[in-house]
Chains A and B, each alone.
Chain A
Amino acid sequence: DAGVIQSPRHEVTEMGQEVTLRCKPISGHDYLFWYRQTMMRGLELLIYFNNNVPIDDSGMPEDRFSAKMPNASFSTLKIQPSEPRDSAVYFCASSLRTSGNREQFFGPGTRLTVL
Chain B
Amino acid sequence: DQQVKQNSPSLSVQEGRISILNCDYTNSMFDYFLWYKKYPAEGPTFLISISSIKDKNEDGRFTVFLNKSAKHLSLHIVPSQPGDSAVYFCAASGSGYSTLTFGKGTMLLVSP
User: CB within 8 Å of B: which residues of A?
Assistant: 4, 33, 42-45, 48, 56, 91, 93, 97, 101-109
Contacts and interface: CB of A to CB of B under 8 A. Distances in A.
A42 B103 contact: yes
A102 B45 contact: no
Contacts of A101: 32, 34, 49
B1 interface: no
B98 to A, nearest CB: 8
A97 B43 contact: no
Contacts of A44: 102
Max chain B C-beta neighbours (<10 A), residue from A4, A42, A108, A109: A42
Contact of B45 (A45, A48, A106, A109): A106
Given A4-B43, A91-B43, A104 B100 contact: yes
Interface of B: 32, 34, 36, 41-46, 49, 89, 93, 97, 99-105
| Interface SS of A by simple majority | strand
A103 B102 CA distance: 13
A58 to B, nearest CB: 10
A67 to B, nearest CB: 15
B79 to A, nearest CB: 25
B34 A102 contact: yes
Contacts of B41: 108-109
A109 B46 CA distance: 15
Given A42-B102, A42-B104, A102-B49, A97 B97 contact: yes
A60 to B, nearest CB: 14
Contacts of B36: 106
Contacts of B99: 33, 45, 48, 56
Nearest to A50: B97
Given A45-B99, A102-B100, A103-B49, A108 B42 contact: yes
A109 B103 contact: no
